[in-house]
Amino acid sequence: MNLLDPTILLALALAGSLGSALVSLLADRLKWVLPRLAFPLLGLAGLASMVSGLGAIFSDSVFSVQLPLGLPWLHWHLRLDPLAGFFLTLIGIGSLTISLYGPNYIREYRHSPYSLVAMGLATGLFVASMQLVVLADDAFAFMVAWEVMSLSSYFLVAFQHQNAGNRRAAFLYLLMAETGGLSILLAFGVLAGFGHGLTFDAMRAADLSLTWASIAFALGLLGFGMKAGLVPIHVWLPEAHPVAPSHISALMSGVMLKVAVYGFIRLVVDLIGDLYWGWGVALLAIASITALFGVLYALVQHDLKRLLAYHSIENIGIIFIGLGLSIVFYGTGHPLLGTLGLVAALYHTLNHMLFKSLLFLGAGAILQGSREHDMERMGGLLVRMPWTGLFFLIGCISISACPRSTALSPSG
């Protein structure tokens, strides 16, 4: 048996995340289940996702499989190609990271009125659904996984439900998630109508006029942009990220937003295929406003996690600037520059996933240690939390792009 076989690795990845969800059903009666079993299973899922994702990136082969699930006339199609592999690797890194961070972080919830079953079950389903979103090769499987991702993360945002602000943030998130999901479903409907099938292969073969392609693009931008946090459809993000448990904030900001980026790339670049340069111009305008808006609002925040949430909006804008440039170049017949723009967007996707996850996890440690959300009232923490301070500093240097700016300076 070859342990590096994609079938085995993907089975381990999905079994780990779904197994984590199932064993969490015992968490209220057995307090050791989450730290000693559920989180290690998430770590296994993360490791298997990383290995399979990296294998797809550096391999020329494409792995595909059908599962006996779904509709009677349409089984679920799963496909692992280099694009899916890249984002599966990000999911794996995020899952592995929280599996190491979570056991110590959740200790304060053991004697709280909040259900550990709900946390563990929703977290496992959240990770599994993100894995399935990037692996889905038909619209039905994609939308089922997308909805599970939205619903499971809703319960995580609403975890501390006795707080009215948390309930409001969770409701706003669910409302916008379902609105975005409907928009994505309509975009797939356009492609399926012309391609005469719900599989992605059928959609790739669809013969679309510019009008219908533009409609599919606009619907996809609305749906995936809402989940990613593009302005002005970002309003859920600075409300939901700060109120979720910090390891979930790291998953949402570091990973889930990138799954939305994946969905947009898959729909526009892969399924629609024939890119029109005007789409890129429109996307550049929206992305630039998003980046500017995010950083300006981040500057006036006093709540640490809310500040990080607005910085996520800024960085999503930067990622979509790269995608906008890529569409402009592809649409005007400059494929080399278009590829460069796409690679730049993917590079910053990886970059943001790493440092934003680090910062949200650091913020969780700081909030637990200080019991204070207002940064104006924090002081002297470096003496009490030197290691947290060191890693938080690394994250701050990364988000400031200091190493890059030093390398490009005349003296460097």
Q: What one-character-per-residue DSSP string does 153-200 give?
A: HHHHHTSSTTSHHHHHHHHHHHHHHHHHHHHHHHHHHHHHHHHTSSBH
- In the three-class reduction of DSSP (H, G, I as helix; E, B as strand; rest coil), residue 346 is classed as helix
Neighbours of 365 (CB within 10 A): 20
pLDDT at 376: 67
pLDDT band at 160 (very low <50, low <70, confident <90, very high): confident
Left (φ > 0), alpha (ψ -120 to 50) or beta: where does 402 sit?
Answer: alpha
Mean pLDDT of 233-260: 89
Let me know the angle formed at the C-alpha of 265 by 203 and 229, rounded to the nearest 5 degrees. Answer: 125
Is pLDDT of 412 > 50? no
pLDDT at 406: 40
Distance CA 294, CA 225 (A): 14
| Average pLDDT for the chain | 87
Residues 120, 20 contacting (CB under 8 angstroms): yes
Is pLDDT of 67 > 90? no
pLDDT at 374: 67
For the entire predicted model, the pTM comes to: 0.90
pLDDT at 225: 94
- For 61, the token pair is 């082969």
pLDDT band at 410 (very low <50, low <70, confident <90, very high): very low
Distance CA 43, CA 100 (A): 7
Distance CA 312, CA 228 (A): 9
Closest by Cα among 249, 294, 286, 244 to 264: 286
- In the three-class reduction of DSSP (H, G, I as helix; E, B as strand; rest coil), residue 66 is classed as strand
Is pLDDT of 100 > 80? yes
pLDDT at 338: 92
pLDDT at 3: 57
pLDDT at 2: 58
Of 54-63, 158-167, 175-184, the range with the highest mean pLDDT is 175-184
pLDDT at 128: 95
pLDDT band at 403 (very low <50, low <70, confident <90, very high): low
| For the chain, percent of residues with pLDDT exceeding 70 | 94
Domain boundaries defined on the chain: 1-137, 159-399
Residues in the chain: 412
Mean pLDDT of 364-374: 75
pLDDT band at 362 (very low <50, low <70, confident <90, very high): confident
